Amino acid sequence: MELETDRMTFRPFQPGDWQDLRAIQADARATDTLSADGKPFPEQKSRDAARTWAAHWDLHGFGIWHITDKETDRFCAYAGLRLVLFYGKPIVELAYAVAPDFWKQGRGHEFARPCVDDVFERTGLEEAWCFTLVRNTASQKVMQGAGFVFTHHGDHVGLPHFFCKMNRDQWGGPRQVTP
C-alpha cells in the first residue's frame, strides 16, 4: 500500500526504518517539541518505535507512514493515524514529525490530510485526535489545516498541550491539499 502527493511518497513504516527515524528523533531541533524533556531520543527508542509502528500496520491495517521526498529520495517525515491509549481510553491519534532539513516547506500541510483521508475512507473510524505543545504553533496550523477542530488546552506528560479532534461529519470526505 502506498500514497503520494505532488512532492512525497508514503509507505507503511517497517522495522528497518529506524535509522531514517533517527533524522528526527536524534535531532534536538525536532525533539524540542516531540519528547517530554525536549531532548533527543535514545537509539533504542527509535528501534522500538519503528518496530511498534510496523506491527500496528499488521494489526490494524493503518498506521504511521514512512514519507520520502520525491526529488531527493530522502526520508523527510513520518505521519499517520494510530490507535493509542490516552489516559486509559483508546483513541486514534494523528502523529507526525518533519525532519528539520525539510522544515518550512509546507510538508505537514501536504501530508496530514491524505493520512486522515486514507483512514476515514478505508475504515469505520468515527473520530481522530491530534495534539501538540501549546508553544508549537506550526503544528497547530498543520492540525487545523487538515480539518481538525480545537477542543481544549490540557496537560499531557506534564506539559501544556493544544488538543484538536475531527469526527466523520467534520471530515466530510477527501479533499486536495496544496503545499
Q: Nearest CA to 148 among 163, 168, 165, 125?
A: 165
Mean pLDDT in residue range 24-43: 88
Say if 176 falls within a structural domain: no
Q: How many CB atoms lie within 10 A of CB 83?
A: 14
Task: Categorize the per-residue pLDDT at 15 as very low, low, confident or very high, splitting at 50, 70 and 90.
Answer: very high
In tens, the pLDDT along 45-85 reads 999 999 999 999 999 999 999 999 999 999 999 999 999 98
SS3 assignment, position 150: strand
Least confidently predicted of 23-27, 60-64, 84-88: 84-88
Asked whether residue 124 carries a pLDDT value surpassing 60, the answer given is yes
Q: For residue 177, tell me if it sits in a domain.
A: no
Look up the CATH number of the domain holding residue 58. 3.40.630.30
Residue 20, domain extent: 3-171
Q: Is the pLDDT of residue 175 over 80?
A: no
Q: Is residue 69 part of a domain?
A: yes
Please report whether residue 178 resides in a domain: no
Look at residue 54 and tell me if it is in a domain.
yes
Strand partners, 109: none
Residues 118 and 51: beta-carbon distance below 8 Å: no
How many domains in the chain? Answer: 1
Query: Among 128-137, 140-149, 150-159, 169-178, which stretch is predicted with the lowest mean pLDDT?
Result: 169-178
